[in-house]
Structure 1
Amino acid sequence: MSTGYPTITIDLILDRLTTKDVLHGVLHSILFHRLFGTVRPRTFEVLDVTMPGVSDPEMEQLVSEKVDTFWKGIEGGVNKRGQIIVTFSEKRPKKSWFQVYMGEEDVPWEQWVINAELRQPKSDRDCQAFNATLASSLTNTIHTMLSHTSSERGRSAVPLITNAAGISPFPIKVTVKVGDVEVG
């Protein structure tokens, strides 16, 4: 399905102990790279991987709510796979068939899809290997974010910033799905 805007996919295999920390770090990193207002930076240490983040009460609340929604959906159900989808949009005038102005609509310009699967290592040795693999995945995730946001395609996806008020001039929608069903 071609959407006409970039979709960046991040695949993660998580365990019970690190799921919330990893998802907090990844969501904050996406926001850090895609918020264009005045951002106070902060960092997250997840499995010895330093991840950038945003020190803003509104964004921290959004991230916490969505991570908690994901966790409750995974914990309460039989399906141990889910997605968190972050969509950045811009407001454009909405017109009817006869070119009559009908208000505004959100038009997506970029989407980040975090595919997460919950698994549980059986032994201590498995746990150490699992954490090493997850740390490597997080490092690759940060590299993917940096590569995309600094690439020509990543820069050209960003629409003109016409409103400098607030931390983000663009609407942000974060959707949580567990087993292809939207939750929260």
Structure 2
Amino acid sequence: MNPTHATVTIDIILDRQNTKEVLRAILHAILFHRSFGTIKPKTFEVLDVTMPGVADPEIERLVDEKVGAFWKGMESGAYKRGQITITLSGKQQKKAWLGITSYEEEVPWEQWIINAEIRQPKSEQERVTFNENLAATLTKSLRTMLTHTSSEQGRAAVPSITNNQVSPFPLKIVVKVGDVEVG
């Protein structure tokens, strides 16, 4: 993997009640900010925080599949921590065998790492505080996305766009629960 690609990390503490909804919103928001074709936007309201998303059947299916894999991994094991990694790559021509032949190689240009931990509030007062903290973390995550994607570094990382697809770059989402890849 290319060590020079940008890496953005989001740490979040969730409860069982909000896990799917929050992860779906975060993944959609990242993909919204890294979609370059014509998209139909949608929004997610999570704990009074409005998150952007992409109304594209393929992206919605991918996000639902990965959130479902994360949830199943959490449900089936003793682990309460997991990670979802989104890697965006560009295609680059590489020379092979004495420069006579060439092939395309996927080279990562940006990676988003979502570290998630599930905790359960024990009382109603803890739930109120927990939800307030989760809403603040969501707002901070959205701010991180906006800051990175609009920064000079965030804009410079994007390779040349050669088509008008919603996601013109190879996209890979990996889900790990307890350091084991799931889904």
TM-score (norm 1): 0.96
Give the superposition deviation at 1:100. 3.1
After superposition, the Cα gap between the structure-2 partners of 1:161 and 1:117, relative to the gap in structure 1 and judged at 3 Å, is same
Identity score, percent: 63
Q: Check conservation: 1:14, 1:117, Cα contact below 8 A.
A: yes
Give the superposition deviation at 1:95. 2.0
For 1:10, the equivalent position in structure 2 comes to 10
For 2:111, the equivalent position in structure 1 comes to 111
Matches of 1:103 and 1:2, distance apart in 2 = 17
Q: Tell me the SS of whatever aligns to 1:31.
A: helix
Q: Spell out, residue by residue over 1:119-167, the C-alpha distance to the aligned partner (whole angstroms, 9 max, x if none).
A: 0000000000000000000000000000000000000000111222x21
Which one-letter code corresponds to 2:104 in the other structure? E
Q: Check conservation: 2:2, 2:108, Cα contact below 8 A.
A: no
Whether 1:178 and 2:150 are equivalent positions in the alignment is no
The count of residues paired between Structure 1 and Structure 2 equals 183
Which one-letter code corresponds to 2:162 in the other structure? T
Q: Give the unaligned 5+ runs of structure 2.
A: none
Matches of 2:49 and 2:153, distance apart in 1 = 27
Give the superposition deviation at 1:97. 4.6
TM-score (norm 2): 0.97
Q: Spell out, residue by residue over 1:40-92, the C-alpha distance to the aligned partner (whole angstroms, 9 max, x if none).
A: 10100000000000000000000000000000001111111000000000111
- What is the root-mean-square deviation in Å for CA atoms of aligned residues? 1.3
For 2:153, the equivalent position in structure 1 comes to 153
Q: Tell me the SS of whatever aligns to 1:98.
A: helix
For 2:47, the equivalent position in structure 1 comes to 47
Q: Check conservation: 1:14, 1:118, Cα contact below 8 A.
A: yes
Which one-letter code corresponds to 2:108 in the other structure? P
For 1:101, the equivalent position in structure 2 comes to 101
Matches of 2:155 and 2:6, distance apart in 1 = 11
Q: Spell out, residue by residue over 1:20-51, the C-alpha distance to the aligned partner (whole angstroms, 9 max, x if none).
A: 00000000000000010111101000000000
After superposition, the Cα gap between the structure-2 partners of 1:88 and 1:2, relative to the gap in structure 1 and judged at 3 Å, is closer
